[in-house]
Amino acid sequence: MDPDADAKNWPEDIVPGPTKETDGEAKKFLEIFAAAVEVKDDLANIMENHAFWKAVRITKWVTRFIQNCRNKKSSRLTGPLSIIEIEKQIKW
């Protein structure tokens, strides 16, 4: 048996091209991964760019500002942050 004769009997490798069906599947595949893109919010940026304790103080000042905007002028918190406020922020 001649090995070259066997090689001549095999069909050539078929390389399929894209079709309408495969293009549609590829589009769905890309849309799924487009939805899975990680989005960083402002809190994540603060946590990455600052030390832990500084990030806690920043976020507590923001939280206090929002609470003071919602409260009446007479019940707003003023002065430095208290230990209780910082502990609550850490738990949050």
Q: Residue 69: what pLDDT? A: 93
Residue pair 89/59 in contact (Cβ under 8 Å)? The answer is yes
Q: How confident is the model at residue 82 (pLDDT cuts 50, 70, 90)?
A: confident
Q: What is the pLDDT of residue 70?
A: 93
What is the band of 78 on the pLDDT scale with cuts at 50, 70, 90? confident
User: Which residue range forms the structural domain that includes residue 68?
Assistant: 42-91
Domain count, the chain: 1
Q: Is residue 23 part of a domain?
A: no
Q: For residue 58, is it within any domain?
A: yes
Between CA 35 and CA 80 the distance in angstroms is: 42
pTM: 0.53
Share of the chain above pLDDT 70, in %: 71
Q: Would you say residue 24 lies in a domain?
A: no
Q: Residues 39-48: pLDDT tens digits?
A: 778 888 888 8
What average pLDDT is seen over the chain? 78
Return d(Cα 53, Cα 70) in angstroms, integer: 26
Q: Cα–Cα distance between 29 and 41 in angstroms, integer?
A: 26
pLDDT reported for residue 47: 82
